[in-house]
Amino acid sequence: MSRHIAVLLGGPSPEREVSLSTGKACADALRAKGWQVSEIDAGRDLASRLSDINPDVIFNALHGAWGEDGTVQGILETFGKPYTHSGVAASALAMDKHRAKAVLESVGIACPKSVLANRFDAAKTHLLPPPYVAKPNAQGSSVGVLIVKEGANRPPAILASDDWPYGDEILIEEYIPGRELTVAVLGDRALAVTEICPNTAFYDYEAKYADGGSVHAIPADIPTNLEKAALEQALGAHKALDCRGLTRADFRYDEKNNILRLLEINTQPGMTATSLAPEQANHVGIVFNDLVEWMAENAHVPCDTAGKTKDQGA
């Protein structure tokens, strides 16, 4: 009898459409590997819907706030069945860019200089000298990212607008010129270094997800020592935040000044066959369907109230 897995997709975040694509691709892959798959468009009734179908494993294909910030992970811990990707604490920490950077810097991983601010304060005056990046402290996929160019007279007015939907905490971050690099980590292995060449002004939401938005060069054409450093730092960040399963670390490389800076860790990267992390897995010989099944088979088993995993017994 095939194992029953629930694939969570969609959800209420600004990254809903990406999650629908990720979830469908993963559900199709699991069906091809012989799993019984139930797709759940996740909402506030998630706990009751999971109870109704009682799957053996849960594949969390959600993106963005609620789905990857520790909230859904808390529901899944309570439900008690194995679930993919990182747990509550790691998910919440990685989504909080400011606090995640503090942890990474504490273990020697260099990140861009930054200031955490209320968006209304960030709209009044430059909190760092331009050029700099202003972005929501707790969103993914470059949602809401603004580039303040050198010579700008004032910060972006949208930060103080009633139309700003991304929360009041804004990270003001040093702009690192140069090349965009990314490294996926699977379990305890950093897979490869990809250079992302966006066809937009920077690697924004459109560049990530629109057809033709970017070109991926894998392996990146970079010096061997830089490749080694990026792989080591991605794996180090994965471990420092206590992540599980698949993550992706995004970097900026200032080639002129030989500066590598880790921007952030994505605990639930995009999972279509052409997404960055699956591309890297395929590059090292792990085809998409096998990658998805590995994630399902290595899903985290929640702890009981005594702090033991379900398969450890009393």
Which residue reads 């090292």 in tokens? 284
The question of whether 266 is a catalytic residue gets the answer: yes
The question of whether 209 is a catalytic residue gets the answer: yes
Residue 43 and residue 112 in contact, taking contact as beta carbons nearer than 8 Å: no
DSSP 75-125: HHHHH-S-BSS--HHHHHHHHSHHHHHHHHHHTT-----EEEEEHHHHHHS
The question of whether 114 is a catalytic residue gets the answer: no
Q: For 2, how many CA atoms within 13 A lie in the half-sphere containing its CB?
A: 13
The CA distance from 208 to 181, in Å, is: 13
Residue 227 and residue 220 in contact, taking contact as beta carbons nearer than 8 Å: yes
Catalytic residue among 179, 248, 252, 261: 248
The question of whether 15 is a catalytic residue gets the answer: yes
The partner residues of 183 in beta bridges, in order of sequence, read 193, 249
Expressed in percent and rounded to 5, the helix, strand and coil fractions of the chain are 30, 25, 45
Catalytic residue among 60, 266, 275, 282: 266
Catalytic residue among 39, 264, 279, 293: 264
Residue 138 and residue 148 in contact, taking contact as beta carbons nearer than 8 Å: no
Catalytic residue among 270, 279, 282, 293: 270
Catalytic residue among 10, 13, 15, 236: 15
Catalytic residue among 141, 142, 275, 282: 141
Residues designated as active site = 15, 141, 209, 248, 250, 264, 266, 270
